[in-house]
Amino acid sequence: MSTQSTPSVGIEFNTVRNVKDALTLASSQKYDFLVIPIIRKQYGTDLLTSYGSKQLTWPSIASRLKGVGESADMSTALVALIRHVIDVDSPNLHIRNKATKLLQEELAAAQYFSVARVIIRIRNGNIINLTRIAASTLNTLYFAYWFVFPTCAPGNFDDDNEAELQPWLWWNKIYKLLDYHGKVYPVLELSADIPSEQAQKRWLGEPVRAVILPTKIFTTNAKGYPVLSPAHQLFIIKLIKLKVQFIIKGINPNDSTLFEPYLQYLKHITRQTEPINRVLESFTHGYEDRLQVPLQPLADNLESRTYEIFEKDPIKYVQYEKAIYQALVEQYDQKTTVIIMVVGAGRGPLVNRALEAADRAKYKVHIYAVEKNPMAIISLYSQKQEWGDRVTIIHEDMRSWHPECKADIMVSELLGSFGDNELSPECLDGAQRYLKDDGISIPYSYTSYICPVQSPRIFSELLYNRDANKPYYANFETPFVVYLHNCFFLAETKPLFTFMHPNFSIPIDNSRYDEVEFTIPTTGTMHGLAGFFEAKLYKDISISIEPNTHSKNLISWFPMFFPIREPITLATNSKIKVNFWRCCSSSQVWYEWTVIEPTTLPIHNPTGRSFSIGK
């Protein structure tokens, strides 16, 4: 079943005589909310020319909004449109002061009538005073700010890319000035010209809350119904996946026949957003951009539910079975009994896959299931009758166990979202002493990958959801597991650290360091680094969450996210250099990272002060 629901749709009217009647009309036509100006245009003009004259303004507001505050449902169904004639950034001091006063009164009216959202249209980048006024109200007023941007700036530009970039730069300035506040959102107003692919990706990395669809950008199909161009449809489908709301602008409120066709069309578009990959969509639903602290299965014993979630992966164990099967038929004689050791056996899925691979290949095997979690051992013993004497269950830490024989094949699933972050290198290095000299490790190698990523939504969450008992920087020095959804990858991934097994280095050293340089193809803001991995199981049989080689339907791992303390806005074709360390001590492993170009940031997580992985 799809988890996609019909998006919320509102309607914008430029003028209404009575707001309550307009709300009733919008509701009767199945629209979810109404966008209207609180102050009529002429009253805004009057106030600008006759500063301080409230005799006309306030009675007008009161009569038009009569009854609005009486119902919570009605208040949340109303979005207040702030008049664009309010020029609070005028170079004329007299006009600026009057406009500021009018804006403050409009915002006060919106607050009094419990309006949940206010819309302010942004026409250019001259928005410093406007942003300052918004900043002064964010922590005292109830409503959220929806700043509306065109997808292409008006005026003459050398190329279309610059015209598309300007509105995003305006938004980026506002969001930074307002310190990524959680009540501030961009709203896009589409035009007849669809944004370029790069411009779309940049906006899809922002917390876009709504999209305005003017009726003039629709055409009429053969049956007389409004439709959008295929290019517009594709962009809207992408936006629907971010759960944006829509606003229809330009309908004549006196013609009731015009209301329904636009709603029906958006429902039609929504049906086209049915997930291509239902397995992935059902597993990731509800986890979009949700920060999770990485598991530490070496230091902590996992719960049964955690094992159960990972065991639902439809592809991981198929690949493991393929790898074990190929290793058996290519490397061993059917007349011998092959010793397989599953280290970190959990509740036994790899044991079952190893047995199935052996049965398919018609090989005799004896499997040692090694597991330190006492609760998981119970699950293993519950299957002992089915397995018979082909499986020996060992309740030991793989690093300290002393086996009676050595293994031909050592199988493990100790990988984390970054490959090595659940200490697979340390575990397998400790266990390889009971692997024969010509033995096989599955997996035999894994590589981590990183790339710079734009995700203001995650940055805002890190900024405002801090643990009061920890230093201010702790959130930004903690890597998180997160299903990256509302984001924009600023460059292609690049490999970082690789580990091989068995590891014949003398001495074995699992600390790592590398400097990675990225070229940014289009302007964006970096909020952190996305981390991935690719693992080789046997020869060319692999599993991967790296975007370019991602294994279809692989759901066991979400990417890692390494935050940075200060966002960095990067121009087209700029270079960025990242330094990354994997550090080890006798009791823990931790990562440190920083950016040294185009600006220098502090080293994040020195000595593992904010996050480390216990051995």
Nearest-Å Rg of the Cα atoms of the chain is 30
- Token pair listed for 60: 């007008």
DSSP letter at 487 equals -
Q: How many CB atoms are closer than 10 A to CB 373?
A: 21
Strand partners, 583: 590
- Contacts for 540 with CB less than 8 Å, ≥ 6 apart: none
- Contacts for 398 with CB less than 8 Å, ≥ 6 apart: 343, 344, 370, 372, 427, 430, 431
Burial of 459 by CB count in 10 Å (0-12 exposed, 13-18 middle, 19+ buried)? buried
Per DSSP, the three-state class of 168 is helix
DSSP string covering 108-127: HHHHHTT-SEEEEE--SS--
Decide if 122 contacts 170 (C-beta within 8 A): yes
Half-sphere exposure of 569 (CA within 13 A, CB side): 9
Half-sphere exposure of 441 (CA within 13 A, CB side): 28
CA angle 262, 82, 22 (to 5 degrees): 45
Cα distances from 391 to residues 228, 359, 427, 468, in angstroms, run: 62, 14, 22, 49
Active-site residues: which are they? 413, 422
Residue position matching structure tokens 């610059």 = 162
What's the rounded Cα separation, in Å, for the pair 214 and 119? Answer: 16
419: nearest Cα among 495, 483, 368, 327 = 495
What's the rounded Cα separation, in Å, for the pair 61 and 46? Answer: 14
